[in-house]
Structure 1
């Protein structure tokens, strides 16, 4: 029986519990520091592979020339986007940080000492932020390299209490900077 047929004949919970390995689909099992994305797919590879499908039956020189041209176009398009950017971060990273900043209005933070903070949300959700190790218990900062709303709230709270806080972009992983 195919996976589609199996999926149709049983509930999603049974399918994901018995067929899929949690290590492959759950963010809890993603290795921190290895990748700076919280997605399990690499769309860039999929797009590139899709463009090569038509050229695979061509001679190797023609295929390599096509790859070179594709890469030149991609680099040129990325440089065009970079020249339009204001600030040190990529446009996508800037958009994500602004969205995270907007979501920090209803949090309460408690200092636990040693650069650790408990952040309590409006729905009684709680997270621990360790500023020294740059880790939040929601794991978004660890997985993406972009500070989550809990981290941004801690930074805002520290600044409100007169502590010296660097600019937000200094807490973003270097892969999200325009320089890289």
Structure 2
């Protein structure tokens, strides 16, 4: 049955179903009762399940590292690391401006996380 479920084309599906018929007629009949669109790869739809053909988060990240992508691997990784560190620092500054505007539920979560942070070991990222 695994071969039938993994068959990628309809002819392979039918060839494997014929083998199943030779091995076990009751198993073959049981499979024939089931709609193959739900369990066999040969009948799965290959068209898009969504009208959005891009992932905006990935597209935005790829755009932001465009200049680093054609560099040697170490240079590329260093530029991506620098980009992410600058991005996080910029967001930290932005969040500091909102410090007094955080709701009570979020403030409780932050205080809880501060308590857990005492066990963190800081390391220089030079």
Bigger relative CO (Cα 8 Å, ≥ 6 apart): 1
Higher-Rg structure is: 2
Between structures 1 and 2, the one with greater strand share:
1
TM-score clears 0.5: no
The TM-score with structure 1 as length reference comes to 0.27
Between structures 1 and 2, the one with greater helix share:
2
The TM-score with structure 2 as length reference comes to 0.37
